[in-house]
Amino acid sequence: MRLYHVEKSCADCRAPCAQPHDLAPWRISSFGTVFDDNRILLVRKRDGREWTLPGGTVWRNETPLKALRRHVRKAAGLRILATQVPTVIECPHRHRFLMYYQAAPATTPEPLEPQPAHDTEARWFSMHSLPVDLARHAKTHLLQFNLRRREPLQSTHAPLKAHQG
């Protein structure tokens, strides 16, 4: 199934569409905020600089939730269950829909073990001690998540607390 762009600018990604992209196919990416008590699962490429939410591109004939489960299993060796309906963000200039699920481990979390061929590092972080090098899209989503939960929001004017360890 192909989805097509309706001309629009994307304030979330801070990049306006310069021209209409008629009949441009869209891609879907699926990400998860995987919680275990007051900890969140974050991943990063072994050669990367930023921590981010686990997830990635949805393959043809794959549901976004199935894609998220596949990405988390590869990156962290963890099976998950979705706990809420996803939040969907439209990024017209990238021809992409981003789907953010809230999830939890399906069983008691074991030590995180990425699949041997996967080039990521996975780690649990306390929600009160997130890494300084957190990707912008992950930071934005987590701040919005805190607003929806009506919890005290970390200041957007001060940097997030650095991970100690």
* Tens-digit pLDDT profile for residues 42-54: 999 877 789 999 9
Q: Is residue 97 part of a domain?
A: yes
Check which CATH number belongs to the domain holding 76 and give it.
Answer: 3.90.79.10
Express each pLDDT in 100-111 by its tens digit.
999 999 887 667
Q: Is residue 83 part of a domain?
A: yes
User: What are the pLDDT tens digits along the chain (165 aa)?
Assistant: 333 333 334 444 544 444 444 445 889 999 999 998 889 999 998 777 899 999 999 998 899 999 999 999 999 989 999 988 888 888 887 888 889 999 999 887 667 777 766 677 899 999 888 899 998 888 888 887 765 554 443 433 333 343 344
Q: How far apart are CA 68 and CA 155, in angstroms?
A: 29
Provide the whole-model pTM: 0.71
Q: Is residue 160 part of a domain?
A: no
Q: How far apart are CA 163 and CA 83, in angstroms?
A: 26
Q: Is residue 132 part of a domain?
A: yes
Are 33 and 142 in contact by the 8 Å Cβ rule? The answer is: yes
* Number of structural domains the chain divides into: 1
Q: Which range marks the domain in which residue 73 is found?
A: 27-149
**Confidence at residue 7, expressed as pLDDT on a 0 to 100 scale:** 32
Instruction: Determine what percent of the chain falls in helix, strand and coil, rounding each to the nearest 5.
Output: 20, 30, 50
